[in-house]
Amino acid sequence: MTETIQLFVTCILDTLYPQVGEAVVSVLERCGVQVAFPAGQTCCGQPAFNAGLRGEARPMAQHTIRTFEQAPGRVVVPSGSCAAMIRHGYLELFAGDADWLPRAQALAARTFEFSEFLVDGLGVSDVGAVFDGTLTYHSSCHLLRELGVDRQPHLLLANVRGARLVELPGTQECCGFGGVFSVEQPAISSAMLERKLDNIQSTGADVVVACDSGCVTNINGGLRRGGRSPRVVHIAEILAGVGR
């Protein structure tokens, strides 16, 4: 029987990059799963949580939990930090809350980041993607350190036909996004981003791949402002074969 997964597309993809959401769906379907999309979903609450505004974050998290309680099956999130918010942030947010903690735990237990889900959840390492050019990979902090996902995207990219993968120096260094940090401390954030942009340029890669649209937005915003190339894409765009 075909498995149906629940897609939590995240508010950034929904609003800024709907085409990435479509790439996610296309890759998942190619891997033999059916994609359902609970229409009531909005934002996981991470921006408020990271700002320290737990009173604002809680209702958003509760809304997300409620929405997905009506949608059985595994939940796939094409963003490392949003997946980490559900898996770890919610447990902190609802610590000591007898009503909501178990509900948060139940959702956390069936939530997976996109590349993690493909490799660990479906056992797929080759999605049949083709890309003619040089790729480099930026490790998103929350994906790497909170979820421990690093091998999975590398494996998926290694199997993209025609693609040459080059190492990004300092790939595990933060790009300076950090959600509200990037607007609260723009000077520090910019200095961190500058370091990332220089490293990207040093690789000579055609495209930078990341698994988090926060990093994508931050790095592309800096590249665009500086009139620099290349650009950053979400891993789903490469895996769907629509990366260029």
CA distances from 126 to 7, 33, 117, 122, 208 (A): 21, 15, 13, 11, 19
Q: What residues between 90 and 109 interact with another protein by CB under 8 A?
A: 92, 96
191 binds another protein (CB under 8 A): yes
Q: Name the minimum Å distance from CB 128 to another protein.
A: 4
187 binds another protein (CB under 8 A): yes
> Of the candidates 5, 31, 149, 209, which one interacts with another protein according to CB under 8 A?
31
How many chain residues bind another protein (CB under 8 A)? 88
Nearer to another protein, 209 or 236 (CB): 236
Beta strand pairing call for 231-234 and 161-166: unpaired
Q: Residue 232 corresponds to which tokens in the numbers above?
A: 């950053």
Q: Which residues contact 234 (CB under 8 A, 6 or more apart)?
A: 13, 17, 20, 23, 78, 209, 210, 211, 213, 216
> Of the candidates 80, 222, 241, 243, which one interacts with another protein according to CB under 8 A?
222
194 binds another protein (CB under 8 A): yes
Q: Name the minimum Å distance from CB 228 to another protein.
A: 12
For residues 202 and 207, give the distance between their C-alpha atoms in angstroms, rounded to a whole number: 12
Residue span 142-171 as binding mask against another protein, x where in contact by CB under 8 A, dash where not? x-xxx----x---x---x------------
Q: What residues between 114 and 133 interact with another protein by CB under 8 A?
A: 119, 122-128
189 binds another protein (CB under 8 A): yes
Give the closest residue to 91 by CA, choosing from 141, 49, 51: 49
Q: What residues between 56 and 95 interact with another protein by CB under 8 A?
A: 56-57, 59-60, 62-63, 92
51 binds another protein (CB under 8 A): yes
Q: Are 191 and 163 contacting, i.e. CB atoms less than 8 angstroms apart?
A: no
> Of the candidates 73, 133, 166, 190, which one interacts with another protein according to CB under 8 A?
190
Concatenate the DSSP letters of all residues of 50-103 into one string. HTT-HHHHHHHHHHHHHHHHTS-S-EEES-HHHHHIIIIIHHHHTTT-TTHHHH
